[in-house]
Structure 1
Amino acid sequence: MKRSGRKFLCIGVALSLTVLVGCSNDSPTAESPSTSEAPPSSDLSPGQVPGVDSPADNIDDAVGKLDGIAAELMESSKIPGMAIAVVHGGDVVYSKGFGVREVGKDDAIDGDSVFQLASLSKSVGSTVVASQVGEGVVEWTTPVVSQLPWFALNDPWVTQNVTVGDFYAHRSGLPDHAGDLLEDLGYDRRQVLERLREVPLDPFRSTYHYTNFGITAGAEAVAAAAGKDWDTLSQDAIYGPLGMTSTSSTFSDYIGRADRAVPHVLVDGEYQAKYQREPDPQTPAGGVSSSVNDMAKWLTMLTADGTYDGQTIVDPDALLPAVTAEIVSNPSATPDSRAGYYGYGFNVSNSAAGRTTVSHSGAFALGAGTNFVWIPSLDVAIVVLTNAAPIGIAETVTAEFADLVQFGEVREDWRTLYRNAFAGMSEAEGELAGKTPPANPAPPQPLPSYVGVYENSFWGPAAVAEVNGELELTIGPKGTSYELTHWDGDTFTFELTGENAPDGTVSQATFSGNTVTLEYFDTDGLGRFTK
C-alpha cells in the first residue's frame, strides 16, 4: 500500500522551506530592533556570501506584515487557531496568537497557548542530544547498541555500527516510517523498538528514509547513557535551563494544560475537534508540546549557537553537526534545481537568495501543523504552530516571511504551491479505495473456514472470528477490530481511519489456505499472517 504522502506531511522538504501556522489574538507586537550592518564580503568565506543582499529594514518590514498574512490565511483556510513568534538579534520581536483553542468556544489563542509540536519535536530533541554530546555523555558517533544492548536491526553488522547520528539523520536503512503502524495498534515504545529487527533494511548510510522510531531509538540510547528517562533528560537539559515552563515531552502534561490548543480535522467543510493524537511511544520524534513563547526561547538559544541569557546551554561544537547537512534528503529532480539536506533532526537547504536555511515541519493528520525556519546569515527565525490538520498554512506563513526578509517581497505563490503539495495527503489509501465492488463476485468459502488466530512475529496475532454472520478481524494490544466485508472470492476488505490512514482508506484481506495477507500492513512485505 502506497504511503508516500506521510513523508512530506512530517518534514515538509518538498519545497525547501518549512514553516508553522496558527491562530491570532490582539496581543501587542514588540518593536523590532535595527538590523546591524552585515560584515563585508571580504570577511566571509565564499560559502557564506549570499547571492542577494538583504537591506537592514527588510526584517522590520516583514515582521510588520505578519498580522496581515496571518489574518488572510486564517480567513481563507478557516483553521481554528495559530500562533507565531519571531526571534531576531537575540530578541523576541513578535509573538501573537490568532483564533481559538477549540471551535465553538471563546478561549483565544495567545503566545502561551500550548500546541502539540508533532515532528518539530525532532529538532527540539536534537538539541537535547547535542547538550549531552557537549557534556561528554555520548557522541553523535556512539553506537546505539552500546547503550541499548537489547536493540537490534535486521542486519547484524548494522546493529553493531548504527549510531545516534545515523538515526537522527534518517540513514540507518530502516524504511520510511518504520514502526508507526505498530504504534497505531497500541504497542509501546520498547515493543516497537524491539520489533524493528524484523524490518528489511535498505543500504546503510547511503539511503534516506524518514523514521520516527529510528529517531526514538537514538534518543533512548542517549537517555540510557545519561541515566535518565528521555522526558526527564529533556527537562533537565533544555526546558528547565531555558525557562520553558509550558513545554513537556509527556502527553499527560499536554492534556492537563488549561491553555491547550485542541487538535482539529476538516469534516464536510468544517473543522471539528474529533480526534486526539497520543504520541508518547515516539515522544522524541513527535511528542513534545509547547507554546510559541517557549519556542522563542529555544530559537533564541539555537540562533546564538547554544547560548541563552549568557549561559551555554549546548556546546556550539556539539550543535553544529545537527544544523548542517549530513545526508541528501531531497535529491535534485533536474540539473538546475537545488537539493535538500538533513542534519541531525533538522532540515538544511539553500534558498533562492543563496542563504542557508535550517527548518523543520511537524504534522499530525489528526490535527496539528507546525514549522520553524531559521536563516542564520540574517540572524532571524520564525516559528508557527497550528491546531488543525496540515494543509500547508504553516509552511505558507514561513515561506512568505522568508521571502520578505530576503527579497523585500513575496516572490512565489506559496499559498497555491503548498495547498497543492498538501492536497494529496488526505487522499484515501488502498488499491480498492473508492472502487465499486464487483457486480457478480465469486462466492467466499464457508465463513468458519476463515476463522482462527493467524500469527505474525512483527504485528502479533490477528484473530478472525465470525460475529453475527460476518467476519471480524482483531489485531494489536488495543484489540483493534475491523469488520471484514466480502469483495470477491477469498478477498475481503476493511476500512481504517487514524493518524496514518486518511478517511476512506480501504485494505484488502486476502485468504489463501492457512494464511491471510493484510494489504495495509504489508508495505514492507511483513503483512502475511499464518494460522
Structure 2
Amino acid sequence: MNRRVAAVAVLSVGVLVAGCGNGSSSSTPEFSVGSTPPPAVASIPTDSARIDDAVRQLPDLARKMLQSTGVPGMAIAVVHDGKTVYTGGFGVKDNRRPDSSVDADTVFQIASLSKAVSATVVAGRAGTQGIDWTMPVAAGVDSFTLADPYVSTHVTVADMFSHRSGLPDHAGDDLEVIGYDRAEILRRLRYLPLVPLRTEELYTNFGLTAAAQAVANKAGKDWETLSAETIFGPLGMSSSSMRYADYLSRTNRALLHAKVDGKFAPLAQRDADAQAPAGGVSASVNDLAKWMTMVLDDGKYQGRQIVSSDALLAAMTPQMALPSGRADFRPSATGFGFNISSDPSGRTMLNHSGAFTTGAATNYQIVPGMNLGIVVLTNGAPVGAAEAVAKDFTDLAQYGRLTADWFAQFQQLIDPTNAPEGELVGKKPPANAAAAKPLNTYAGTYANQYFGPLTIKADGTKLTLSIGPKNQTYDLSHFDGDTFTFIPRGETANPGTISQVKFTVTGDTSPSVWVEFFDRNKQGTFTRSAP
C-alpha cells in the first residue's frame, strides 16, 4: 500500500476551514470560520431523519467527487441498524471504456481495508487451537526470527496487528516489489533493525501478514481458505477473496488506475498475494456491507455468532497512539487492523484507508454509537476522494452539515505521500560531469543478505541492473562519474521517483554499489560477490 496513506483515515481536525466539502447539497449550510462547532459531548442524539438525508445526498457527493478529481470509478455502501440502507456505483471500471459502469456488485481491490477484515478472521478463530491475540507469532511460524532473539520469541499476533513489533515502517514491501513470495519475505525480515518492542507504531504489511500466517498455520489451513471459511462463506460474501486469481476471474471488476502527470490510466496490475492478509482482499460494496453489519452487531450476523465478541472488541480497542504531527488533531490510535478516533460529537469512530499507488484508494468509517457504517471503494490512485466522501457522509449524518472541507484536508495529508522520491528528482547531470569508467568496471554480481543478488551487466554502451527472483531489470543512465540513475517502478515507487546507483571503484573494478531506492531501511549497499 502507498506509504503512510492508511493513517489519514483517522483525521479529526480541531481547526476548521472555510467552505464546505465537495458535493454538499443546497440544503446543507456551509460551515465557515467563525461558526460554532458541534458541541463536544457524547449526548448528541442520533437523528434517523438526518441519516436518511445524508444517504439521499450520497449520489451527489460521489458524482461531484469523481468530476472534480478525475477518479474513474467509485462504489459506496451504507449500513444502519442492521440493514444495508444504500448501495451505489458511479463512474467506470476502465476509463478507456465509457460503457464499463461501476455498480454495487463491482469487485474492487480494497488494499489495506484488508487489515480489518483479517482482524475479524483472527477473531473468528480465537479460542480454538490455541489461537488468540496474545499468541506468539513463533508459535505458528516455524523458525520465525527477527533481529532480536527476545522479540523473535515474544512478539505476538496483537503486536503485529497493531504495528508495535519494532519492525521498520513498511518492512518487507521492497522485497515484495522485486518478486519474493510471502514465505521468503517473512524469512528475510530477520535482517532488518528493530526499535524496542511495543514502544512505537511503525506500519508494516508483512508484520501483520506474519501474524495472520501464524494463525492459519495453527488452524491447519492456508490463510486464503481460512478467511473464506471463517468470514466470507458465513456472511455470504460470494464475490470476496484473498486470492488475486479470484479477483482476475471476476467479469465485473474494476481495473486499477495510476495517476501520472495529473491523469488516471490503467497502467499496471497489482498482485498482492504475498501480503494478502494486509492488502490482498478483493470485494464488492454489497459484500462489505455484510461485513460492516457483522462488526456493528458484536460479531453476529442474521442472529448467528460469526466471530467472538470479546476478540472483536479487543481488535477495536486502542492499542498504540498514532502520531498526528499537529497539536490541534484529536487523539487517534490503532487497534488490531482497525484505527480508532473520536469525533467532536464525542462518538468513537472506527476507520481505515487503503491505497495502491498503482491505482486503488478505499476507506470505511464506522460509528458504533449510531449503529452506522459507510464504505467507499475507488479504482484510482489515492488523492483523498474515498476519505472525503466517507467523512462528508458522517458529518451530514451526525450534524446535518459539513464541518470542514474534508477533501482539502485529506489532500494535505495524502499529496506528500505521492511525491517523487530521490535526491536527484528535478536535477540534470552537471554540465561538467565526469566521465564514467569503462562499463566492465561496474559489471558483475553483487549481493547483500536482505535483498540477495543484484546483477550489473554491460551491454555495449549501456548498463542494466537486475534484482530479485523475477530478474526485475532497469536501464541505468549515466549521471556523473561513477553515479548512474534509473526510474523505479512498482507499488513502492511513486511516479517521478529517481534512484541513484553509486559505485565505489578500486583500481579497475567496483567492490560495492549503493542503490538509493533500496536503502529505505539501510539495506541499499551491495558487495561484489562475482565478476
**Would you call these one fold, judging by a TM-score over 0.5?**
yes
Could you tell me which of 417, 426, 448 is aligned with 1:425? Answer: 417
Letter in 2 for 1:417: Q
User: 1:140 aligned to 2:133?
Assistant: yes
Give the superposition deviation at 1:149: 2.1
- Determine the structure 2 residue equivalent to 1:80: 72
Could you tell me which of 2, 8, 11 is aligned with 1:15? Answer: 11
Give the superposition deviation at 1:328: 0.7
Matches within 5 A, 1:76-475: 76-105=68-97, 106-135=99-128, 137-331=130-324, 333-334=326-327, 336-475=328-467
Secondary structure, in 3 states, of the residue corresponding to 1:477? Answer: coil
Letter in 2 for 1:62: A
The answer (yes or no) to whether the contact 1:275–1:366 under 8 Å persists in 2 is yes
State the distance in 1 between where 2:332 and 2:298 align: 22
Secondary structure, in 3 states, of the residue corresponding to 2:517? Answer: helix
State the distance in 2 between where 1:55 and 1:103 align: 39
Superimposed CA distance per residue, residues 345-364 of structure 1 (whole angstroms, 9 cap, x where no aligned partner)? 00000112111100111111
User: 1:519 aligned to 2:511?
Assistant: no
State the distance in 1 between where 2:196 and 2:158 align: 16
Secondary structure, in 3 states, of the residue corresponding to 2:478? Answer: strand
State the distance in 1 between where 2:68 and 2:278 align: 31
State the distance in 2 between where 1:14 and 1:93 align: 24
Give the superposition deviation at 1:332: 6.3
CA shift in 2, pair 1:184/1:380, >3 Å: same
| More displaced 10-residue stretch of structure 1: 458-467 or 134-143 | 134-143
The answer (yes or no) to whether the contact 1:485–1:494 under 8 Å persists in 2 is yes
Superimposed CA distance per residue, residues 464-489 of structure 1 (whole angstroms, 9 cap, x where no aligned partner)? 11012211111111111112222122
Q: Percent identity?
A: 48
- Determine the structure 1 residue equivalent to 2:29: none
Superimposed CA distance per residue, residues 430-455 of structure 1 (whole angstroms, 9 cap, x where no aligned partner)? 00011111110122222211111111
State the distance in 2 between where 1:189 and 1:136 align: 23
The answer (yes or no) to whether the contact 2:365–2:390 under 8 Å persists in 1 is yes
Letter in 2 for 1:195: R
User: 1:68 aligned to 2:60?
Assistant: yes
Give the superposition deviation at 1:10: 3.2
The answer (yes or no) to whether the contact 2:9–2:363 under 8 Å persists in 1 is no
- Determine the structure 1 residue equivalent to 2:25: none
The answer (yes or no) to whether the contact 1:14–1:330 under 8 Å persists in 2 is no
The answer (yes or no) to whether the contact 2:332–2:339 under 8 Å persists in 1 is yes
Give the superposition deviation at 1:421: 2.3
CA shift in 2, pair 1:380/1:300, >3 Å: same
Letter in 2 for 1:166: D
Q: Which runs of 5+ in 2 are unaligned?
A: 14-39, 506-510
The answer (yes or no) to whether the contact 1:11–1:119 under 8 Å persists in 2 is no
Secondary structure, in 3 states, of the residue corresponding to 2:355? Answer: strand
Give the superposition deviation at 1:315: 1.2
Q: Which runs of 5+ in 1 are unaligned?
A: 18-47
The answer (yes or no) to whether the contact 2:2–2:356 under 8 Å persists in 1 is no
CA shift in 2, pair 1:427/1:361, >3 Å: same
Q: TM-score, normalised by structure 2?
A: 0.91
Secondary structure, in 3 states, of the residue corresponding to 2:208? Answer: helix
Give the superposition deviation at 1:274: 1.3
Give the superposition deviation at 1:342: 0.2
Secondary structure, in 3 states, of the residue corresponding to 1:74? Answer: helix
State the distance in 1 between where 2:261 and 2:453 align: 36
Secondary structure, in 3 states, of the residue corresponding to 1:109? Answer: coil
State the distance in 2 between where 1:480 and 1:55 align: 56
State the distance in 1 between where 2:6 and 2:464 align: 32
Give the superposition deviation at 1:271: 2.5
Superimposed CA distance per residue, residues 130-184 of structure 1 (whole angstroms, 9 cap, x where no aligned partner)? 1111445401000010111221111000001000110000000001000001000
CA shift in 2, pair 1:266/1:215, >3 Å: same
Matches within 5 A, 1:27-46: none
Could you tell me which of 489, 510, 526 is aligned with 1:529? Answer: 526
Secondary structure, in 3 states, of the residue corresponding to 1:262? Answer: coil
Report how many aligned residue pairs link the two structures.
496
- Determine the structure 1 residue equivalent to 2:30: none
CA shift in 2, pair 1:511/1:331, >3 Å: same
CA shift in 2, pair 1:148/1:519, >3 Å: same
State the distance in 2 between where 1:232 and 1:200 align: 33
Letter in 1 for 2:326: A
State the distance in 2 between where 1:318 and 1:189 align: 26
CA shift in 2, pair 1:337/1:389, >3 Å: closer
- Determine the structure 2 residue equivalent to 1:21: none
Query: C-alpha root-mean-square deviation of aligned residues, in Å?
Result: 1.6
